[in-house]
Structures are given as C-alpha cells and as structure tokens.
Structure 1
Amino acid sequence: MSHLPDDSVCVLGIGNVLWADEGFGVRCVEALQQRYEFAPHVSLIDGGTQGLYLIQHVQQARRLLIFDAIDYSLAPGTLKLVENDDVPRFMGAKKMSLHQTGFQEVLLLAQLTQRYPEELLLIGCQPEELEDYGGSLRPSVKQAMEDALALGVDALRRWGARPRFRRQPLSGADAVTFRQLDLGRYEGERPSETLACRLGDERFMPQLEDH
C-alpha cells in the first residue's frame, strides 16, 4: 500500500437515478458536493452503474466511503452502516440490479491486486420503490438521505477530509454529476405518466405478459 498517499479519501455514490430509489447513492454524492468543500486529497465520484470501471478509484483510495441503495429487507428508508471486511458481502447479498454485482467484483478485484482501501464504510439505505422509470427518491428515502449525509460527513471528518460548508456556489463545470440530471431539475421536468411509460418500454410489455 506504500504507493498510495497516506490521506487519500474517495467518496463514491453508486446506483441509477432513473429508477427512483436506486439513485440514492448518486444523490448523496451530488448533495455532498453542492453543500461542502473538502481537502484536496478527497475525491467525490458519481459511480452510476459503471461496475468494473470504478476499480481505479477503489485502488487509489486509503479510505473509501460508499453510498448506495441496498435491500436489507428492512423498512423503507432504514439506514444501515457496514464497515471494512463486511462491505463486499453486503454488496452482493441480495442484488437489486447489475450494478451491485459489478461493484462486488470491483472490491474483490482490488483485494486480489493488493490495492485495497485500509478503511471502508458503506452507508446503505433500504429502498421503497425501484420500478418507476424516470421517478425520483420516495419521501422515506429522501428523508433518510439527510441522516446519511450527516453520518458520512462525520466519517469524513474523522478521516481528515476537512469538510466545511461551501463558500461559493458550485459551478456546472465542477459538478461530479450531470447537471441535466440535477435532483431539482430532474423532479421538476419529469413528463406526465400519459406522455412517458414508467415501467419500461410499453411496446414490449404485452409480449412479456404473454410469457
């Protein structure tokens, strides 16, 4: 691990914002960047559903903070913190989507290459709704996001990330997430259900039901 800076910290939000509560992790990173500034050795990453493409970020981090929607079979909006060696197991225990399979493999690959963070913290939230294409976070999950951010900031402070409230508004060029998918714009510009199918491509739905 000597190739890594002693204080390198990565904050990673993973998930798909297009499927309602699946976007929890990305929304957390988006909000963190909009509200806080951090020390130069801290990187915030919108991991989306990139899977193995995230390996470089994991390998370069001494400390890794992950935000994600995880199905723990708990009440919607329930947060659960998982640390260190338990993180890979939880990422693959009950997969909601392909991105979780991919990220579990990222962690295992980082272990095999012996370029693995010394500290990991997963802040996971139990989703309420996933089958809503173009939908946003449900109220229970959006409320839990505030608690998740507080927990994340506390961890980052312990790790020497030096979080402080942002003094200047974040410019579009510096945003880690696509500004077109910014939470406020995403929710405010969503087309009505009559204009956009929310369960998938409606042209194929009858065929799926026949089977």
Structure 2
Amino acid sequence: MASQDSILILGIGNLLWADEGFGVRCVEALNAAWALPANVTVLDGGTQGLYLLPFVTEARHLLVFDAVDYGLPPGTMKRVEGDEVPQFLGAKKMSLHQTGFQEVLASARMLDRFPESLLLIGVQPVELEDFGGSLRPEVAAQVPEAVAIALSWLRARGVEPVLRKHREVSRSALALAAYEDGRPAEQDACRIGDVRFFPEAN
C-alpha cells in the first residue's frame, strides 16, 4: 500500500528518437537542479511499460512528463489531470512506451492502487523520425517551464524543493551534454533508420 505522502515524478520516453526524449530530459533537469525529500522519487522510466507498475502502485501522487500527441501545434505544452490522463496517452500510438504506460495505469486501477492524484505534463512533439537526434528547439524550450510546473505541484502537496548549490552532473553517456557532444553530424551518420535496409538509389 502506498504511504500517505509518497510522490513519484516519472519521465517516460525514448531519448534516441528526438522529441520522444522530452519526459526523460525533464526528470534529468529537475534532479540536476533540485534536491527533494526522501518521500519523493524522481524516476527515468524510459520505455519500461509494465515494469513501472510497482512504482506507480506505491505512489499516492504521480506526475508524468511525456511527449504526447494532443493534436496541437508542435512544441505546445499542455497539462492534463486525473481521469483524463489515460485517454491522452492512448489517443494515438506514437511509440510502444505510451501504450505500455496506459496499461500501467489501467492495471493500477484494476488493483485498486491508483494514485490519489495524477498530473501529465506533455508536449506536442516536433520531430520523432530522427534516430539519434535530440529535442527540437521548440520542445527543448519547454523543459524549464515543465519543471517549474512540477515544482509548483510539489509545493501544493507540502514539499519544498531545495535548489542545489551545485548542479548534479550525470556521468551517463545519455546525459544531455554527453549525448550532444558525442552525436555525429547528419552527414556522418544516418539518423532516419538503418541504411542497410534502404532501397538502392536509382
């Protein structure tokens, strides 16, 4: 059973497909700049799907960052709360992780262990078909605002985030700085798929 004050902040998505990485970049930015108390878990959920169910069922409050097809202009950010969240995650299948997370929420409800409050902070992607690409400028520009919304949401639940004196630096090869520095230019690497499977040019 979830503890009375347990909070999960979850970023889902795939860093390897451009704007699909929005959710993960949000939790990365949040964790780098802000220290949070022990009852708050900040988690890179990647594309784990149903593997995230134990984390969700232990949370009293859940906030999700994700790239979502709202049918809005690219780069638009929108917040959705409560029972409306699953319909946006499953409205249009953009990737495997979205269907998987919709199933996570459905499973949590079936187990009668659905979070008491749920907030989705989503951004309309600009580009997904760019393997190895990074967030497009319109989407990257929304990360600070998404983090600011999360901070306000936490404060409304009695959590006071503390600004770190020194930013946490991730040593992962997929951390934003390392990822950008190590990414080859478009002319040096195919970023729309595996070139071995392309039809030969005439």
TM over 0.5: yes
* 1:13-52 matched pairs, under 5 angstroms: 13-52=11-50
Residue type at the aligned position of 1:79: M
Q: CA deviation at 1:206?
A: 1.5
Q: Is 94-103 or 23-32 further displaced after alignment? A: 94-103
2:82–2:118: 8 Å Cα contact kept in structure 1? yes
Identify which of 122, 132, 153 aligns with 1:155. Answer: 153
- State the aligned residue count: 201
Q: 1:93 aligns with which of 91, 94, 113?
A: 91
Could you tell me the TM-score, scaled by structure 2's length?
0.95
CA distance in 1, matches of 2:26, 2:169: 18
Trace 1:124-143 onto structure 2 (pairs within 5 A).
Answer: 124-143=122-141
Give the counterpart of 1:122 among 105, 120, 123.
120
Letter matched to residue 108 of structure 1? A
What is the one-letter code of the residue matched to 1:194?
A: Q
| Cα displacement (A) at 1:168 | 4.2
User: With structure 1 as the length reference, what TM-score do the two structures score?
Assistant: 0.91
In 1, distance between residues paired with 2:167 and 2:89? 34
Do the aligned residues in 2 keep the contact of 1:77 with 1:125 (CA within 8 Å)?
Answer: yes
Deviations 1:27-69 (A, max 9, x none): 0000000000011100011000000000011000000000000
Is there any run of 5+ residues in structure 1 with no aligned partner, and where?
Answer: 173-177
Q: Tell me which protein shows more helix as a share of its residues.
A: 1
Cα RMSD (Å) = 1.5
Uncovered stretches (5+) of structure 2, i.e. residues with no partner: none
Measured in 2, the distance between the counterparts of 1:167 and 1:9 equals: 24
Residue by residue, what CA displacement relative to the aligned partner does 1:94-140 show, whole Å, maximum 9, x if unpaired?
12111100000000000001111000000000000101111101110
Q: For 1:181 and 1:160, how far apart are their aligned partners in 2? A: 32
Query: Which residue of the partner structure matches residue 63 of structure 1?
Result: 61
Q: Is 1:18–1:133's contact at 8 Å kept on the other side of the alignment?
A: yes
Spell out the pairing of 1:74-89 with structure 2 (5 A cutoff). Answer: 74-89=72-87
Partner residue of 1:198 out of 184, 191, 194: 191
